[in-house]
Structure 1
Amino acid sequence: MVYLRTIKLLREEFPDTKQYPFGLPSLQKIDEIELESSVTFFVGENGSGKSTLLEAIAYQCGFHTAGGSRNNYYEVEKSESSLGDYIRLSWMPKLTNGFFLRAESFYQFASHIDDTNGYKNYGGRSLHEQSHGESFFSVFANRFSGKGIYLLDEPEAALSPMRQLAFLYVMKDLIEDGAQFLIATHSPILMGLPGTKILNFDASPLEAIRYEDTEHYQITRRFLENPHKYLTE
């Protein structure tokens, strides 16, 4: 299902196109981003704007921009979204159920869950008492449920290659139950999920790209074919 259909950039209202993130090449010369798949991947180098846009979408959804849903309230330094007031979302229909998982600030989110005894809703065990990967899966298993929009910022940060494959099966089941995903990632395993749309933030403006044409796929394939070449040149 595709509930969030369009992300509109209010570029004419950007305060300063030379200031980050408003001067990002990926956001130039583009007014709308159309979402056509149940899963859309944001890919690109660090600093290309993929996490910044995902954070802005979370802000417009009413989710905590450091991670969480509409029901999570906690203080985190520098958790505001500088781009959040300069985008508009078009829905059909609009959803309020969902979650923003942000690897960078997951520790603070886990502390918030512990402080409010909320771990009872996350499998009954403190997220801090589990490995990083286990705690991510506790969120997937207990907080993600069917019809909703799920925003994930580099979920592979805590997942081994095997766990990434396991997560693809989780995603597959959730998609069949009506979930929509927007995922910023560097993982060629995750972005290899069939039937998805990949947006390349290294392009100016950002544009759709085939999986096999992504730098992530190309570099990983070439390295695996001949690691000696990369390490001896």
Structure 2
Amino acid sequence: MNQIDLAKRVAIVTGGAQGIGRAVAERFAASGATVAIWDVDAALAAKAAAEIGHGAIGVAVDVTDAAAVQAATDALEARHGSVDILVTSAGIAGPNHKTWDYPLEDWARVMKLNVDGTLHCCRSVIPGMLKRNYGRIVLVASIAGKEGNPNASAYSASKAAVIALTKSLGKELADKDIAVNCITPAAARTRIFDQMSEEHIGYMLAKIPRGRFLLPEEVASMVAFLASAENSFTTAGVFDLSGGRATY
């Protein structure tokens, strides 16, 4: 594992108690960062923080609640003086349906977490980053947001929105030392698979030329660089982890 220097940085990782978020939190902590693991499951967040160590803290935060997100950000800044890094890994896949049969309540639930939740987190940390003229934001999108997976229109549309948000926000902050980028991973075998049909899981695997699913640790490697001071020029970018699937 290459060493990325995140010493003295304070990072928020949403959905950091499991899956991709957990791998990112572990890599950040090993790189010297103070990591706040935000998860809607308080017990799971606390357990992950205890297992990761290195001063990691678990915080119960529902990112769909804008007021709760702001309060958690304010508390973290008051305790540590800054929030330098944000990674938005919290998200859901939603059920698999044809678009014309997609339940409206499920559509709204996917959008509320994947899109609104991401926006709430960005809005809460950016004012402090502007004051300090430093910040690194990595939004977790998906290859589905670029290609559109059949029977997953809500998830695909939500991740396309995250890609567009990255580009808009990155351009708005491009004259500052604040980098905003997103990643578009192919499927990784995490608990999000529990929300998908076996047919859909098979479809995703068949689309990956590497012939295997992505490892969360592989995501963490890319995110660690994007969240570091070394990433001093690239912003509003989209970084694929698709195993050869991405066509643009």
TM over 0.5: no
TM range (shorter): 0.3 to 0.5
Q: Under a length normalisation based on structure 1, what TM-score does the superposition of the two structures give?
A: 0.37
Question: Which structure features the higher share of helix residues?
Answer: 2
